[in-house]
Amino acid sequence: MSTYDTPVAGTTSTAVLEQIRRRSPDRRRRILFTGATIVTMDPALGVLDDADLLVEGDTIAAVGHGMDVAEAIVVDARHTILCPGFVDTHRHAWQAQLRRIMPDVDDLTGYVAATLAGYATVYRPQDMYVGTRLAALTAIDSGITCMLDFSHNSRSREHSDAAIQALLDTGIRGVHASMGPHFGDWDRQWPGDLTRLKKQYFSSSDQLLTLRLAALATNEIAGPALAYGTDLARIANDLGIGVSIDAVFGASSSQAVLDWQRDGLLGPDVTLIHSTGLTGHAWQAIGDTGTTVSLAPTSEAQIGLETAVPAIEEALAAGIRPGLSIDVEVALASDMFTQMRALHAIQRMRAVNAAYNTGRQPSRISTYDVLDFATLQGARTNGLHNVTGSLVAGKKADLLVIQAEDLNTMPLNDPVGTIVLGSDPRNITAVLIDGQPRKWNSHVLDVDLPTLRGHVHDSRDHVLKSTISSTSK
């Protein structure tokens, strides 16, 4: 047996990483994490102190105390928190090389004009690859083990292939949600190309990548071809894939929700993104049909989508526990810690403000709530709650090792509070996805950073130069 002491104990993890990788082809390969505080996010198991977790191959085999497992690679996880990997339910990954290019964008119109009607139109397949790979690697670095890439710049078959290949090359549990572009020239291969994509990349039900159909709520932004309705619903149903619908906000989307309910187009395999400014009747339809919801707390508040208030209270009142998402890195932060803290603060502020001087007791969400949204409910929103989102036997081994004795996390008094309010990506020393180490000893693995940096800069420079050239004609 081999042992890895945490960085608190002053040793390195190189040896154990080498053992894990050397034995990874064996589906019975065992990794035993010992002595950790385990935040399972399973209502029955809760939080376990001084506990052990066994990974066998790609799966969590057991969670408990005092395990003695033969032929296991032992990881001494004292002074750490083990928790499920975060789940991002909506990110436009192809934009990553344009990060923070418009940090103070005023509204949705400004974002659409600059990004979707401008930069997107000059993207080549290689730009799709670079942006998507950068976003996925950054997700892994910050503890996101599952990411839904709302890939709405599928200008050709090659653009789609490049985005999917980028997810494959990072080893993330990826959901490729495919949609045609809003503006500019494109091959009009979508949605017909979804059949090819499923056959070529998503033929197995037991793999890291899954496929969804992406659409818009209404035809206001980009016309009827991209708006969800009976035709797109039929395609998704025929392919057996879920649907993610963006730009769900306001009166027109509220009517669309009621139309979808009437036509039987809602359900647990459909996700509505943002959902700000919806009517009470629309929320009742969402709740009654078990439709899932993805909130993007910083996007809704910072960009100012409809009411600019994340619809957490409306979702909870309708019986929906939402997933969380990053949305657009052109204007927003890249990590899930920011989303959890933003939603936690906004909802509690809103609850207290509503009760101020009324004598009522404000109904506030907790740190456990937002961690649930970022893990198990995110997995449910992505259609993967039977696969990931909690640390229980039988689920895939998607997990984080978070240092609990760093300067910003010590001492460990409340593990959930420490994750949500005290931690950030620097405290994540290890990330496992499907039982494979993707970050170890605080470094993302298998990344040639200088080469990646060169590709990112080259792609960014091409996009900016080409956009300027096309607008000056």
428 pLDDT more than 50: yes
pLDDT tens for 61-97 read 999 999 989 999 999 999 999 999 999 999 999 999 9
98-102: average pLDDT? 97
Tokens of 18: 């080498």
438 pLDDT more than 50: yes
Instruction: Report the C-alpha gap between 235 and 190 in whole angstroms.
Output: 11
pLDDT tens for 271-295 read 999 999 999 999 999 999 999 999 9
C-alpha distances (whole Å) from 147 to each of 99, 174, 208, 277, 320 are 17, 5, 11, 26, 20
Tokens of 278: 């919806």
Pairing state of beta strands 210-216 and 173-178?
parallel
What is the per-residue pLDDT for 472?
A: 60
298 pLDDT more than 50: yes
Instruction: Report the C-alpha gap between 176 and 293 in whole angstroms.
Output: 17
Global confidence as pTM: 0.96
11 pLDDT more than 70: no
473 pLDDT more than 70: no
Pairing state of beta strands 428-433 and 399-403?
antiparallel
Instruction: Report the C-alpha gap between 309 and 301 in whole angstroms.
Output: 6
Give the three-class secondary structure for 212.
strand
Non-local CB neighbours of 366 within 8 Å, separated by 6+ positions: none
403-431: average pLDDT? 97
Instruction: Report the C-alpha gap between 117 and 126 in whole angstroms.
Output: 19
455 pLDDT more than 60: yes
Instruction: Locate all alpha helices (DSSP H) within 99-229, ordered by sequence.
Output: 108-111, 125-141, 157-170, 194-201
350 pLDDT more than 90: yes
Do residues 384 and 148 lie in contact, with contact meaning Cβ atoms separated by under 8 Å? no
Domain 2-85+389-441 falls in which CATH fold? Urease, subunit C; domain 1 (2.30.40)
Q: What average pLDDT is seen over the chain?
A: 95
Instruction: Return the percentage of the chain with pLDDT > 90, whole number.
Output: 93
Reported confidence tier of residue 4, pLDDT bands at 50, 70, 90: very low
Domain boundary assignment for the chain: 2-85+389-441, 86-381
What is the per-residue pLDDT for 226?
A: 97
122-129: average pLDDT? 98
Give the three-class secondary structure for 60.
strand
Instruction: Report the C-alpha gap between 79 and 11 in whole angstroms.
Output: 14
Q: How far is CA 221 from the centre of its chain?
A: 24
Instruction: Report the C-alpha gap between 312 and 297 in whole angstroms.
Output: 9
Of the candidate CATH numbers 3.30.1280.10, 3.20.20.140, 3.90.550.10, 3.40.50.720, the domain formed by 86-381 belongs to 3.20.20.140
Reported confidence tier of residue 13, pLDDT bands at 50, 70, 90: confident
Reported as type and span, the H/E element at residue 463 is: helix 449-471
DSSP per position, 263-300 = TT--STTEEEEEEET--HHHHHHHHHHT-EEEE-HHII
Reported confidence tier of residue 2, pLDDT bands at 50, 70, 90: very low
Reported confidence tier of residue 8, pLDDT bands at 50, 70, 90: very low
12 pLDDT more than 90: no
Instruction: Report the C-alpha gap between 401 and 426 in whole angstroms.
Output: 11
Considering only residues 436 and 469, tell me which one the structure prediction assigns the higher pLDDT: 436
Instruction: Report the C-alpha gap between 458 and 454 in whole angstroms.
Output: 6
